[in-house]
Amino acid sequence: MAVLETVVIAFWAMLPAYVPNNAAVLGGGGRPIDGGRTLGDARLLGDGKTWRGTASGITAGLVLAGVLTLVADDVSSAIGFAVPTFEPLAALGLAAGAMLGDILASFLKRRTGRQRGAMFPGLDQLDFVVVSLPLTALLATEWFFTWFTWDVILVVVVLTPILHVTTNMIAYKLGLKNEPW
């Protein structure tokens, strides 16, 4: 497979996992998931993980997967190779897995003494990949292994941190996010 094809497929297949983080920032606020509960000296998750943000993120990922599925055929004909359509369980695995990864990362941050908003290089950029890919493999196994070949996974692991740093920097400059990571 040509490199450009691999990059396009990786990006397309991951979009329903990429957009939830950004949608959570826009939709976030209100009651925190942990309800203020603590574990030891620190909050269980912190005020940065809210029900509304999580629901916004998952919804945005599912809607985007639907839109991409509607246009996939036209895009595939235009570019000369096939991009993925999303089965419902694949969309759910990617979108919910991304939010779950982000929540687990906050759990780890609080356990390691990091306050809300503190950075955790590596984890911040890949938390949602680490959960969304295995969850999708579990929920939509055939779909997953059709699209996520080893070269696609390699591109995802390299491309995701670059995209994450770029989009968060833009969101910070636009005043949407409190920190540039």
Determine the Cα–Cα distance for residues 53 and 95; give it in Å rounded to an integer: 13
Comparing CB distances to K ion, the nearer of 103 and 156 is: 103
| Residue 85 binds to ligand CTP (criterion: CB under 6 A) | no
| Residue 109 binds to ligand CTP (criterion: CB under 6 A) | yes
In 28-87, alpha helices (H): 51-79
Comparing CB distances to ligand CTP, the nearer of 25 and 83 is: 25
- Shortest distance, CB of residue 59 to ligand CTP, whole angstroms? 12
| Residue 153's binding partner out of K ion, ligand CTP, none, with CB under 5 to 8 Å set by partner kind | none
| Residue 164 binds to ligand CTP (criterion: CB under 6 A) | no
Judged by CB under 6 A, the stretch of 8-16, 49-57, 75-83, 90-98 that binds ligand CTP is 49-57
Which phi and psi angles does 32 have, rounded to 5°?
A: -70, 150
CA 8 to chain centre: 17
Comparing CB distances to ligand CTP, the nearer of 98 and 155 is: 98
| Residue 132 binds to ligand CTP (criterion: CB under 6 A) | no
Instruction: Return the H-helix or E-strand segment holding 48.
Output: none
Q: % helix / strand / coil in the chain, to the nearest 5?
A: 70, 5, 25
Instruction: Return the H-helix or E-strand segment holding 38.
Output: strand 38-39
What does each C-alpha distance from 172 to 101, 109, 177 come to in angstroms?
21, 21, 5
Name the site residues for ligand CTP (rule: CB under 6 A): 24-25, 28, 46, 48-50, 53-54, 99, 102-103, 106, 109, 116-118, 177
